[in-house]
Amino acid sequence: MAIFIALGVMAAWPGLASAEPFARQAEVLQYQVAGLEARRWKSKSVINFWNHRGRWALHIRHGKCWQVQGNQRRKVCKKARQSLRFHQSRLPSLEARIEKLEAPHDTGFLPPARAVVLGQKMAARVGWAGTQWNCLKQLWGHLEGGWYVYADNPTSSAYGIPQALPGSKMGVGWRNSAFAQIKWGLGYVRAQYGTPCSALSTRLAKGWY
Top pLDDT among 133 and 103 is at: 133
Q: Are residues 130 and 182 in the same domain?
A: yes
Q: Are residues 21 and 57 in the same domain?
A: yes
Q: Are residues 197 and 171 in the same domain?
A: yes
Kindly tell me if the per-residue pLDDT of 6 is higher than 90: no
Q: Are residues 157 and 200 in the same domain?
A: yes
Q: What does the pLDDT look like over 145-165, one tens digit per residue?
A: 999 999 999 888 899 999 999
The answer to whether position 96 is within a domain reads no
Query: What per-residue confidence (pLDDT) applies to 10?
Result: 32
pLDDT band at 191 (very low <50, low <70, confident <90, very high): confident
Query: What per-residue confidence (pLDDT) applies to 119?
Result: 94
**What is the C-alpha separation between 15 and 44, in angstroms, rounded?**
17
91, 123, 145 — which closes off a domain? 91
Task: Spell out the long-range contacts of 143-149 with Cβ–Cβ below 8 A and sequence spacing 24 or more.
Answer: 143/200, 143/203, 143/204, 144/203, 144/209, 145/181, 146/112, 147/112, 147/113, 147/115, 147/116, 147/119, 148/112, 148/115, 149/109, 149/110, 149/115, 149/176, 149/177, 149/178, 149/181
34, 68, 91 — which closes off a domain? 91
Q: Are residues 59 and 111 in the same domain?
A: no
Q: Are residues 105 and 188 in the same domain?
A: yes
Q: Are residues 107 and 65 in the same domain?
A: no
Q: Residues 22, 13: contact at Cβ < 8 Å? A: yes
Query: What per-residue confidence (pLDDT) applies to 26?
Result: 44
Mean pLDDT of the chain: 71
pLDDT band at 93 (very low <50, low <70, confident <90, very high): low
The answer to whether position 6 is within a domain reads yes
Query: What per-residue confidence (pLDDT) applies to 195?
Result: 87
Bridge partners (DSSP) of residue 56 are: 50
Q: Are residues 78 and 111 in the same domain?
A: no
Q: Are residues 106 and 35 in the same domain?
A: no
The answer to whether position 128 is within a domain reads yes
Q: What does the pLDDT look like over 52-77, one tens digit per residue?
A: 565 656 666 655 666 655 556 666 66
Q: Are residues 39 and 105 in the same domain?
A: no
60, 91, 122 — which closes off a domain? 91
Query: What per-residue confidence (pLDDT) applies to 30?
Result: 41
Query: What per-residue confidence (pLDDT) applies to 105?
Result: 57
**What is the C-alpha separation between 91 and 98, in angstroms, rounded?**
11
Question: Based on the structure, what is the number of domains in the chain?
Answer: 2
Q: Are residues 144 and 67 in the same domain?
A: no
Domain that holds residue 46: 2-91
The mean pLDDT of 107-135, rounded to a whole number, is 88
The answer to whether position 27 is within a domain reads yes
The answer to whether position 121 is within a domain reads yes
Q: pTM for this one?
A: 0.56
Among candidate residues 200, 162, 196, the one with its CA nearest the CA of residue 181? 162
Q: What does the pLDDT look like over 22-58, one tens digit per residue?
A: 444 444 344 445 455 555 555 555 566 666 565 656 6
Kindly tell me if the per-residue pLDDT of 88 is higher than 90: no
Query: What per-residue confidence (pLDDT) applies to 57?
Result: 63
pLDDT band at 102 (very low <50, low <70, confident <90, very high): low
Q: Are residues 42 and 13 in the same domain?
A: yes
